[in-house]
C-alpha cells in the first residue's frame, strides 16, 4: 500500500505558522475534504464548533438544520439524512463522536478541519419557489 504524506502547517497559539507542523496523510486530507463536500455537514461542523456544551443533543442539531429549510417534507428528509448519513460520516473521523444510543454528538476539535472550514464561505441555502 502506498501512503503519500502531505505537510500541512497549522497555526499555533501565537499565530506563527512555523512554530507548529503537523503531517497529514493524503487519506486524512481526503477524508476531511469529503466530509465537507455537503453543506449540511459544514453547517453541522460549524454549529458544533460554536456550541458550548460537550455533548450536544441530536435534537439541537436537527433544529439548527431545520431552520435552514422551509417545507415539512424537506425537514423530514433532512432529519432522516442526518441520522443515517451525515452524523455517521462525521463520526468516522476522530473530530466527532456520535452516540446513537444517547442521541448526542460531540466535537473534539481538528486543526485541519478547522482550517478548511475557515477557508470556505458559509453557504446560503436558497429554496425554489413553487
Q: What is the pLDDT of residue 24?
A: 85
Per-residue pLDDT of the chain (130 residues; tens, 9 = 90+): 444 555 555 554 445 554 455 788 899 999 999 999 999 999 999 999 999 888 999 999 999 988 887 777 887 888 889 989 999 999 999 899 999 999 999 999 999 999 999 998 886 654 444 4
Q: Quick check: 43 and 62 in contact, CB under 8 A?
A: no
Instruction: Say how far apart CA 94 and CA 87 lie, in whole Å.
Output: 13
> CA-CA distances (angstroms) from residue 29 to 33, 41, 81, 99, 130?
6, 16, 24, 24, 40
Of 78, 8, 75, 71, the closest CA to residue 41 belongs to 78
> CA-CA distances (angstroms) from residue 52 to 68, 89, 120?
21, 22, 22
Residue 48 CB neighbours (<10 A): 20
Q: What is the pLDDT of residue 2?
A: 45
Amino acid at each position: 500500500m502506498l501512503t503519500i504524506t502531505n505537510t500541512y502547517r497549522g497555526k499555533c497559539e501565537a499565530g506563527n505558522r512555523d512554530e507548529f507542523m503537523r503531517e497529514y496523510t493524503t487519506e486524512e486530507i481526503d477524508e476531511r475534504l469529503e466530509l465537507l463536500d455537503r453543506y449540511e455537514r459544514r453547517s453541522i461542523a460549524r454549529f458544533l464548533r460554536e456550541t458550548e456544551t460537550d455533548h450536544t443533543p441530536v435534537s439541537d442539531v436537527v433544529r439548527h438544520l431545520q431552520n435552514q429549510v422551509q417545507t415539512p417534507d424537506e425537514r423530514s428528509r433532512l432529519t432522516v439524512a442526518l441520522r443515517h448519513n451525515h452524523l455517521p460520516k462525521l463520526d468516522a473521523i476522530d473530530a466527532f463522536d456520535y452516540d446513537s444510543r444517547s442521541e448526542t454528538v460531540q466535537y473534539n476539535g481538528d486543526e485541519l478541519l478547522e482550517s478548511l472550514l475557515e477557508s470556505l464561505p458559509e453557504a446560503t441555502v436558497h429554496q425554489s419557489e413553487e
